[in-house]
Amino acid sequence: MTIKLFNTMSRKLEEFKPLNPGRVGFYSCGPTVYHYAHIGNLRTMIHNDILKRMFLENGYDVHHVMNITDVGHLTNDEDDSGEDKMEKGAARDNKSVWDIAKFYKDEFLRDYDDLNIMRPTDMPHATDYIAEQIELVQKLEKLGYTYEIPGDGIYYDTSKFAAYGALTGGALSGNRAGARVEFNSAKRNPTDFALWKFSPVGVRRQMEWDSPWGVGFPGWHAECSAMGMKLLGNHFDIHTGGEDLSRVHHANEIAQSEPITGAPWVSYWVHFSFLVDKSGEKMSKSSGEFLGLDALRRRGYDPMVYRYLILLGHYQTQLAFSWDAMDAAAAGYKNITRRVADLLMDNAPGDVDATAVGAWHDKMLGVISDNLKTAETLVLVQEILRDGTMNAATKINLFEFIDRLLGLQFLDRARRIVERESADAPAEITELAQRRAAAKVARDWATADDLRAQIDAMGWSVVDTRDGFKIVKKDE
Ligand code: AMP
Ligand code: ZN
């Protein structure tokens, strides 16, 4: 199947050609574990997962690396200034940096699992690759790309790398002037960035290491170059991240890596657009109400509804989050699982029609392989449900594929509905329901309503059907 992805580097939709037949290596910039992930971060992780599932369904062997940033990410990314996010988070939580790294990583992985995102093949921590990061800086130093700002750190001289900023359309030096607060005036060029930061004099940081240049810690960008090269090699297929990363973080990763690899480091750069709020503001850890997956769980949403909402959009388009959008997604998701439950309860499912399964499989895989058109695959899901020519067994078989491809757990949720509905109601509930039916026949609506309320309060609901009623256990 032809696979097409939008490559930020060429600004074109390109046909994917693997470096090694049948294999794909991809690196995703992962979370900085100083706080809970917000649902914007999680949007990016869901798109990573779709990318991976698309390759798996196309028969590829996928090597996915996602780093855990537990050091070196400063509050001002563009100027390597401000506080270390990790140290700041530790002070806020009154814990050690190591403790918060573990805590927020575990919380992140809980969200990851609840959203049914497949775990990466490797999940390296920046702090486990300090030696590799020092080695990277040493290599760049030898090649003449670095300079020292006394009392501050070792910096990368971006003027030495002719292709600097190619990812976002070329030289950036003018680009950033005036964009932000004043730049570190000791830097040779505004776009230069720290490779190694010295620990401030007289301050003992919780995370610091010896290096040939003095005690300190790596600049944030160094980890992705060092770990990417170590785990995926000097040239790998795909590098992903949120749209904010292309201009600085990924520009810097390329500048650090390519003088060493001597050739393009990554074949395809894929960036996912932001989740924004109603006013178009980027969802961030500091903006307004903190929206983590937990805020959604607390309001009673199944995490799958959030995943469904994300897949209704395209990765190259910003998505505005609102509770109305969540409600609409919840209704859409429920509608599908209800219909899948009906398929599971079909008394005459028939035999699987392998030809029909093959045709729909190819159609859906074709759509998702064409630049990850998730919304269009969901339209096909509706078509499958509506199709009058396929029996229940065939449709259920297709849903096994749909769940593998989109990870939306339709069958699992449908099975829960079936379980709930087939749970035998206790005798007292059945009796109340019978009395309600009698009250209805007697047109005693008040009694009928009262009995319904009693049944409801006991965790069941009574549903009127063509030939009587059915008692169903309510959602937990
Ligand atoms: P961080 O934890 O801030 O290092 O970010 C982890 C990932 O989430 C990165 O790939 C970011 O680009 C991405 N990200 C940050 N904010 C958003 C957002 N509002 N929408 C989508 N992705 C985001
Ligand atoms: Zn990165």
Tens of pLDDT, residue by residue over 430-466, are: 999 999 989 988 999 999 999 999 999 998 888 776 5
The 10s digit of each residue's pLDDT in 134-176 is 999 999 999 999 999 999 999 999 999 999 999 988 654 444 4
247, two tokens: 């201009």
The 10s digit of each residue's pLDDT in 387-404 is 999 999 999 999 999 999
If you take atom 14 of ligand 1, which residue's CA is the nearest one?
41
Cβ of 320 below 6 Å from ligand 1: no
CB-based burial of residue 117 (10 Å sphere; 0-12 exposed, 13-18 middle, 19+ buried)?
A: buried
Residue 38: phi, psi to the nearest 5? Answer: -95, 170
Q: What angle do CA 189, 88, 70 make, to 5 degrees?
A: 75
For residues 227 and 126, the answer to whether their CB atoms sit within 8 Å is yes
Residue written as tokens 């491809």? 405
Cβ of 153 below 6 Å from ligand 1: no
Residue written as tokens 């078509």? 383
From 28, 44, 281, the mutation candidate for ligand 1 (largest count of ligand atoms within 8 A of CB) is 44
Q: What is the pLDDT, as a whole number, of residue 418?
A: 87
Residue written as tokens 């698309």? 54
For residues 32 and 69, the answer to whether their CB atoms sit within 8 Å is yes
303-311 helix and 323-344 helix, angle to the nearest 10 degrees: 100
Closest approach atom of ligand 1 to CA 31? 2
Q: What is the pLDDT, as a whole number, of residue 171?
A: 52
The model's pTM: 0.89
- Candidates 219, 205, 221; CA nearest to 91 is 205
From 35, 73, 244, the mutation candidate for ligand 1 (largest count of ligand atoms within 8 A of CB) is 244
Cβ of 32 below 6 Å from ligand 1: yes
Closest approach atom of ligand 1 to CA 241? 10
The 10s digit of each residue's pLDDT in 189-221 is 999 999 999 998 887 788 999 999 999 999 999
Residue written as tokens 């700002």? 149
Closest approach atom of ligand 1 to CA 73? 4
* 177 vs 98, higher pLDDT: 98
CA distance 391 to 353: 8
CA distance 368 to 377: 7
For residues 436 and 428, the answer to whether their CB atoms sit within 8 Å is no
Closest approach atom of ligand 1 to CA 29? 10
From 41, 276, 278, the mutation candidate for ligand 1 (largest count of ligand atoms within 8 A of CB) is 41
Average pLDDT over the chain, rounded to an integer: 92
If you take atom 15 of ligand 1, which residue's CA is the nearest one?
41
The 10s digit of each residue's pLDDT in 11-55 is 999 999 999 999 999 999 999 999 999 999 999 999 999 999 999
Q: What is the pLDDT, as a whole number, of residue 178?
A: 40
Cβ of 44 below 6 Å from ligand 1: yes
Full DSSP string of 355-408 = HHHHHHHHHHHHHHHBT--HHHHHHHHHHHHH-SSS-HHHHHHHHHHHHHHH--
Where residue 422 falls among pLDDT bands split at 50, 70, 90? confident
